[in-house]
Structure 1
């Protein structure tokens, strides 16, 4: 039973879902007026680009025998997916979430793009940072920034995200998918880019 719960955590909090969660959090908490049709259009576009398209590309890569599992267990498996993810994120900030339209989300994805690039460099150097921690910690930092930026109390959400980070770390260690150092590096690879871009919008 415990093993099933641990495995479920890895799937529920998969890195693919974190950008969409960040966008959903923003639209649910921002005090700015944004028409519902625009919100729905943005969420739909982001879902297609950050969830559906990567899943389709994964199955293509799996068919071509470039990857073996959704967890990308080796550094070699990670290189092509990270490059593709970087390209998708670049398209997203160029066409869907532009600087002049929704500044906060634009820099959230710029931070995510920097994290992806850092993970790619680490993968080339044969170091396997935890992508789960990278994505979740980036989302966590963005939630804190949103709270400060709009001066709103979302302490409950932030507390839940802390629990989420702990659950992800526990899950990845229990499954022996990562070492402590890989989780710690993953955390900082996710947080630091989000901290750096704060200078441009906070």
Structure 2
């Protein structure tokens, strides 16, 4: 069994690296008693990766992107409805998932 290296599937390597950074950021936030929505972190990280794939391969995935935006809204709404998070915690989760993916775009896009 091999580990995925950076020269095999570059896109996936940097996606997983971004998710690792998001996970570490979530851990650091938890240490400082700042709550963030892990659901939003995961969904927004995948959303940004899908947007970047569409740009990289120059394919039209507008339908998929719009569906993913609806899913992000549904996740946020359900977390608020269940009173599991506040608006601030959802926004922190959204940006914690987006920023690492955006930061690694320069390396593979």
- TM bin (shorter chain): over 0.9
Q: What root-mean-square deviation, in Å, do the aligned CA atoms of Structure 1 and Structure 2 show?
A: 1.1
- Any runs of at least 4 consecutive aligned residues in structure 1 with deviations exceeding 4 A, and if so which? none
Point out which structure has higher relative CO (alpha carbons under 8 A, 6+ apart): 2
* TM superposition shift of 1:98: 1.6
In 1, the alpha carbon distance for the partners of 2:64 and 2:90 equals 22
How far 1:100 moved relative to its partner? 1.1
In structure 1, what is the Cα distance between the partners aligned to 2:50 and 2:66?
Answer: 11
Q: Distance in 1 between matches of 2:4 and 2:13?
A: 5
TM-score by length of 2: 0.97
Is 1:201 aligned with 2:108?
yes
- Spell out the pairing of 1:100-139 with structure 2 (5 A cutoff): 100-139=7-46
Higher Cα Rg: structure 1 or 2?
A: 1
C-alpha distance in 2 between matches for 1:120 and 1:127: 10
2:75 aligned residue: 168
Q: Output the CA distance in 2 between the equivalents of 1:145 and 1:122.
A: 26
TM-score (norm 1): 0.53
Structure 1 gaps, min length 5: 1-44, 46-94
Unaligned 5+ segments in structure 2 are none
Counterpart check, 1:159 vs 2:74: no
